[in-house]
Amino acid sequence: MKTESLREVKNNLSRVIEELPETGAVLITKNGRTRAALIPVDENTDLETTVLAQNRRFWNLFERSFESGKRGGLTPISKLKK
């Protein structure tokens, strides 16, 4: 993973994008604080999963559903016999 300032990324966006497959994700900073990330994407990238992984509303819903299932007596998948 690489870290670049917003100014550097703005001035060299084409280069940064071309190098993504080699460098991996690039964290973009502004005033020394991380503000965004660029990630390499190819035909095998699951964008929906990538977006959901960063969505707090999704994880809150997931947690509420999990807790509701426990209260309702559902058996966790890890305890099911195959």
Mean pLDDT, rounded, for 41-69: 89
**pLDDT score of 73:** 78
The phi, psi pair for 12, rounded to 5°, reads -135, 35
- Edge-to-edge strands of the sheet including 33-38? 2-5, 26-30, 33-38
Give the count of alpha carbons within 13 A of 69, CB side only. Answer: 10
User: Where residue 23 falls among pLDDT bands split at 50, 70, 90?
Assistant: very high
Across the range 17-30, mean pLDDT stands at 96
